[in-house]
Structure 1
Amino acid sequence: MTKSVWTVDKSHSSLEFTVKHMMISKVRGVFNDFEAVVEADPNDLTDAKIEFSVNINSIDTRNEDRDNHLRSNDFFDMENHPKMTFVATEIKKKSGNNYDVTGDLTLRGVTKPVTFDVTMEGVNKDPWGNEVAGFSGTSKLNRKDFGLVWNAALETGGVLVGEDVKINIELEAHKQA
């Protein structure tokens, strides 16, 4: 296969995160509005171009008060930084369909390198004859590295919000004609 442009089908894709809450449980959330363009040969992602943009306002943790707090200056500062972006800078094949995709993640005006463990899940044709590719990716980052430092101490010790944020991405992308 040659390099092609693939656009994300948001109705079959997800961008999820998990963070510890009160040091004993986890809060899960999603961003419902994001775009990604992948220019790649699905058989070899090492020279792919990957760009991702997330609308911070689309955060959804199934709790409106918490979502509004996350949008505020305490966390994402959405008013001044409405988007989170990721641009791949280096892609290394690990084995088979597994890759380390490193890139510049910009969040709240701070840009840092982040590496995702990505699996190219395969390519298939939909019932209408269109080529569709699937990608899965995971990463972990420390939110404080991006200026998301708000927290509250717990009476019993520890803090309300964990520092490590686990990210899970499932993408279905359609090959452009």
Structure 2
Amino acid sequence: MKKYTIDISHSTLSFSVRHMMISKIHGTFESYNAEIAAANIEHMQDASISITIDVASVSTKNHDRDVHLVSPDFFDADVYPKIVFTSTYIDKQNDKTFLIHGDLTIKNITKPIVFTTVYTGNGVNPWAQVYGFQAKTQIDRRDFNLVYNTILETGGVLISDEIDIVVDVELSPL
């Protein structure tokens, strides 16, 4: 098994959520690390993936909202400082598409999720061969005890329960 690292300067761990049910708020996590190993990263089937995210690194480009997200109303970063994803198995759908099954842990609650993942290609930079992937999934934030919300006068809610997650990574061998 060959080990790989994420090029953080060319990768993004992002999420989006509906605000007032009319627009989407986008955010990222700026600090994370990963352990990735595979015999053949392009075929992905035998890959082992573990990603640990620093909750306090959340960024929505709004300081007050970011402070609220790390508070006990949401992530409670002082008590639960990390989000962890660990792959359990991978199903190859075709040459470039994979379903990465794994366990996502937020606030010490672990739930199985599936990322639909596309191999976006490879290239050579001045230092190494690099490989690109995009992975997408959707979670229900209530499954992880992220339940803060406000009822609007119009009858809707301030924040949707569904969170879209998109991970764009550029990997290089160690």
TM-score class, shorter: over 0.9
State the secondary structure of the residue aligned to 1:20.
Answer: strand
AA at the equivalent of 1:154: L
Residue 154 of structure 1 deviates from its aligned partner by 0.3
The residue that corresponds to 1:139 in the other structure is: 137
The residue that corresponds to 1:90 in the other structure is: 89
| Corresponding residue pairs, total | 173
| 2-structure distance, mates of 1:26, 1:134 | 26
| 2-structure distance, mates of 1:171, 1:36 | 11
**1:9·1:171 contact (CA, 8 Å) conserved in 2?**
yes
| 1-structure distance, mates of 2:49, 2:83 | 14
Match of 2:15 among 6, 14, 17: 17
1:92-145 C-alpha deviation (Å, 9 max, x unpaired): 0011110000100000110000100011222322123x1211111110000000
**1:117·1:139 contact (CA, 8 Å) conserved in 2?**
yes
The residue that corresponds to 2:115 in the other structure is: 116
1:9-37 C-alpha deviation (Å, 9 max, x unpaired): 10000011110001111111111111112
Superposed CA RMSD in Å reads: 0.9
| 1-structure distance, mates of 2:107, 2:87 | 18
Residue 4 of structure 1 deviates from its aligned partner by 1.2
TM-score, length-normalised on structure 1? 0.95
Match of 1:170 among 152, 168, 171: 168
AA at the equivalent of 1:117: T
The residue that corresponds to 2:125 in the other structure is: 126
AA at the equivalent of 2:97: N
- After superposing on structure 2, the runs of 4+ consecutive aligned residues of structure 1 that deviate more than 6 Å are none
**1:42·1:123 contact (CA, 8 Å) conserved in 2?**
no
**2:43·2:95 contact (CA, 8 Å) conserved in 1?**
no
| 2-structure distance, mates of 1:147, 1:97 | 34
AA at the equivalent of 2:45: T
The residue that corresponds to 2:75 in the other structure is: 76
State the secondary structure of the residue aligned to 1:95.
Answer: coil
State the secondary structure of the residue aligned to 1:51.
Answer: strand
1:65-107 C-alpha deviation (Å, 9 max, x unpaired): 1111110111101011001000000100011110000100000
Extract unaligned runs of 5+ from structure 2. Answer: none
Extract unaligned runs of 5+ from structure 1. Answer: none
Identity %: 40
